[in-house]
Amino acid sequence: MAQPTDFDFDPIELEILRSRLQAVANDAADAVYRTAISPITTEGKDFSATLLSADGALIVGGGFISLHWLAATRSVRAILTKYGDSVADGDIFLVNDPYQGGGLHPSDVFICRPIYAQGELCTWICMSAHMIDMGGAVFGSFAPNATSCYEEAFRIPPVRLFAAGEECKDVWGLVLTNVRMPDVVEMDMRSLTAAAHVAYEKSVTLIESVGLDSWRNGVQALRQLSEAELVSKIKSLPEGVYVSKSWVEWRGELLPVPCTLTISAGELHFDFDGSHPQVPFFINSQPYIILSAFLSYFCPQFMPDLPYNEGVVPPITVTCPESSITHAAAPAPLGCGHMHVAFSAGTMMMHCVQLAAWSAKEPQLGAEVNAPGAYGAIGLSTWAAPTPDGGFDGWAFMEGALVGASAGWGHDGVDCSPYHVPTVGLDGSGIPALISDVEILEDLHPIQVVSRSLRRGTGGAGRWRSGRGIEFHVRPRGVPSATGQMLGMHGHIPMSGIAGGSIGDLTELLHTGRDGTVHRLGMDQADVSIAEDEEFTLRCASGGGVGDPLDRDPADVVRDVNDFVYEAGEALATYGVVVTQAGEVNHEATAGERDRRRAQRLAHATGGPADIEKVDPAELTVAATVPLYPGVVGYEGKAVVLESGTVLTSAPRMWFEGCTILEGTLAGSGPEVTVRSYLDPATGRALFTEAVPRGSGCSISSLPGHWAGTTAS
């Protein structure tokens, strides 16, 4: 692990250099935005620019999809391994195969160019974008029925598109012969090569203006500072072991992806031992994709003041069992593994860090109380249709990316949030829209958008509720039918809440037939045919809530009813709030209803202590306690509910082992899912609510060193 910088630097000059490096990446990304033609690129903004050192280390990323940045380091290193000293000025390389240095999945094309200054290889620019098609069994190269990577897409190892400035026409021809809509793919690929030229010119200008040695020293200083600062932040977390479990859905099965975080000596080590063996289905992933997903969430949320560069990598390690869905071996398909497995794994990694932060007195990262992010709860789909002129059209509905964000402490979640797909603005800060205007969609493709709105309902309920996902209704237009590939997640097992918050909404993909009959589609169903007079409906999922729903401010509930988030009857059923016909809160009836609900919970729950021990809440001061979980503290070796003073367990047992447990079965077809609430045995207040496969134990555990080594006094 690198130590703090080995040379002196002026902090102002260093920040200026960092800003200029960021500008190079942003200018390259802007060139793609202005010259590409695929709606996935121009409207969905699924592209990035990554600046790397001569040996492939991450310097800075730009564009919109930060997931690509760490993957780009692997692409450049694969090129260096294969071509070594034969890499020359004017070369431009192409790679898309994840097994051979490609990106997140075969549709992500990475175009990498070495940049020379003063006769030396100084840096690389790696431009990446999702192509509308890269061949394979189905349009869009997302093939739910593929059983191997050979069926998913045209696999490309690192090859030259340009050699010493000369176009390799044979390679271009080979690629474009094997893709659908080659004119669109070619234009987008040429957009990436043009952007690489922009980065080349601006990088050379920057290096010459500051001097090659100063440029190299500055890049190294930025890397070392990021690493040193991250190590310092990690050391603010209690050493210990933290666990968060998730399950990936595969056609009626729930495949485990358990994550165990061990914090020691300023390092985070994540272990996915127990991951399900790899499957002949496109959900498999790789460790570098999982780490890419995690860092794309971790850096902007937990350390927004630090540059995301190679320096954040050494303190974080990931271990995944070989030949598992987290570390698949060829020829296992992995076209959608970055979403299904990697997003889910990244979410659990983030949750583990939060569990550690919630056990810390003064954490420097992760202290915010948020329900697990809805990163892996999306519902994308790709579509294709013959056109009236005998041609072919294809598109993707990026609307499925706009889920309802999980709630946070003190605020509701964001509606239609794109945060689950790690995105940044061209300036590194904003969040782009991931959907096209309705008029653009209808102009470009043979479809009619019936409606696009916020999904209604009480999913993700809590003292602070989750945001609303999008609801989208669309029909084919001017063509006999359209054929779609479903890429949905969390159709059976919803996101859990935090501190008693309820579970989120499930993803729903629906087909309404000519007679009005509604058919529920599988999350990964292949070759779905929708006729011109039929309708496809998407209802996006949401994350979980924060805090017991019975503690939500009644005024907020009435506001939601008046804003058509949910109806008055749902307000009563979920929040225990009685709303009058005049749209006002009946406070007396609400208080009585909530008391009745908590008592009813305890009457139907099981477990908990035979005799309830209490501590005076006034004694539970910050100085006298250690944090264990939001709303639960350690006091004299006992886990105590902060608000009520109820003693749950003694160290080193997990705090939730002393809760009264209320269980129910989630309605719906498919695998049986248990919704379980861990209650304060004295008050009936929910402390944690989760959704797990039937027969599974608690999905989290937290064993900080200050608790593991404690005994009750």
Q: Coil, strand or helix: which one is 311?
A: helix
C-beta neighbour count of 439 within 10 angstroms: 9
Residue with tokens 């919630």: 358
Asked if pLDDT for residue 612 goes beyond 80, the answer is: yes
Q: For residue range 35-60, list pLDDT tens digits in order.
A: 999 988 888 889 999 999 999 999 99
Contacts of 613-619 with C-beta under 8 Å, sequence gap 24+, read 613/638, 613/646, 613/647, 614/644, 614/645, 614/646, 614/647, 614/682, 615/640, 615/645, 615/647, 616/645, 617/642, 617/643, 617/644, 617/645, 619/645
Q: How far is CA 455 from CA 126, 403, 416, 458, 472, in A?
A: 38, 10, 9, 10, 9
Q: Give pLDDT, residue 435.
A: 72
Q: Give pLDDT, residue 69.
A: 96
Q: Give pLDDT, residue 127.
A: 98
* Contact (CB, 8 A) for 55 and 47: no
Q: What is the mean pLDDT of residues 660-667?
A: 95
The alpha carbons of the chain give a radius of gyration, in whole angstroms, of 26
Asked if pLDDT for residue 142 goes beyond 60, the answer is: yes
Asked if pLDDT for residue 1 goes beyond 50, the answer is: no
Q: Say how far apart CA 516 and CA 246 lie, in whole Å.
A: 36
Q: For residue range 265-296, list pLDDT tens digits in order.
A: 999 999 999 999 999 999 999 999 999 999 99
pLDDT band at 429 (very low <50, low <70, confident <90, very high): very low
* Contact (CB, 8 A) for 533 and 479: no
Tell me the longest C-alpha to C-alpha distance in the chain: 82
Residue whose C-alpha is closest to residue 505's, from 416, 619, 600: 416
Q: How many distinct helices (H) and strands (E) make up the chain?
A: 14, 28
DSSP of 595-624: HHHHHHHHHH-B-S-SS--B--GGG--TTT
Instruction: Please give the share of the chain, as a percent, with pLDDT higher than 70.
Output: 96
Q: Say how far apart CA 629 and CA 623 lie, in whole Å.
A: 16
**Structure tokens given for 166:** 């000369």
Q: What is the mean pLDDT of the chain?
A: 93
Q: Give pLDDT, residue 448.
A: 96
**Structure tokens given for 320:** 């995944």
Greater pLDDT, 376 or 103: 103
Asked if pLDDT for residue 7 goes beyond 80, the answer is: no
pLDDT-wise least confident of 139-153, 318-332, 427-441, 493-507: 427-441
Asked if pLDDT for residue 711 goes beyond 80, the answer is: no
Q: Give pLDDT, residue 425.
A: 44
Q: What is the mean pLDDT of residues 71-76?
A: 97
pLDDT band at 426 (very low <50, low <70, confident <90, very high): very low
The phi, psi pair for 222, rounded to 5°, reads -60, -40
List the beta strands (DSSP E) in 68-196.
92-95, 108-117, 120-130, 159-163, 166-167
* Contact (CB, 8 A) for 228 and 4: yes
Q: What is the mean pLDDT of residues 94-98?
A: 97
pLDDT-wise least confident of 17-21, 437-441, 570-574, 622-626: 437-441
pLDDT-wise least confident of 80-89, 219-228, 365-374, 607-616: 365-374
CA atoms within 13 A on the CB side of 662: 22
**Structure tokens given for 103:** 């990106």
Asked if pLDDT for residue 434 goes beyond 90, the answer is: no
Taking the whole predicted model, whether its pTM rises above 0.85 is answered as yes
| Strand pairing report for 316-319 and 267-271 | parallel
**Measured CA angle at 16 (ends 15, 20), to 5 deg:** 115
Q: Give pLDDT, residue 3.
A: 43
**Structure tokens given for 504:** 């989120």
The phi, psi pair for 41, rounded to 5°, reads -85, -50
Asked if pLDDT for residue 526 goes beyond 70, the answer is: yes
pLDDT band at 608 (very low <50, low <70, confident <90, very high): confident
Asked if pLDDT for residue 423 goes beyond 60, the answer is: no
Q: Give pLDDT, residue 433.
A: 52
Per DSSP, helices labelled H in 49-94 are: 67-83
Q: Give pLDDT, residue 713.
A: 56
* Contact (CB, 8 A) for 550 and 539: no
- 71 residue type, one letter: A
Q: Give pLDDT, residue 430.
A: 46
Asked if pLDDT for residue 70 goes beyond 80, the answer is: yes
Asked if pLDDT for residue 567 goes beyond 60, the answer is: yes
> What would the 3-class secondary structure string for 229-246 be?
HHHHHHHCCCCEEEEEEE
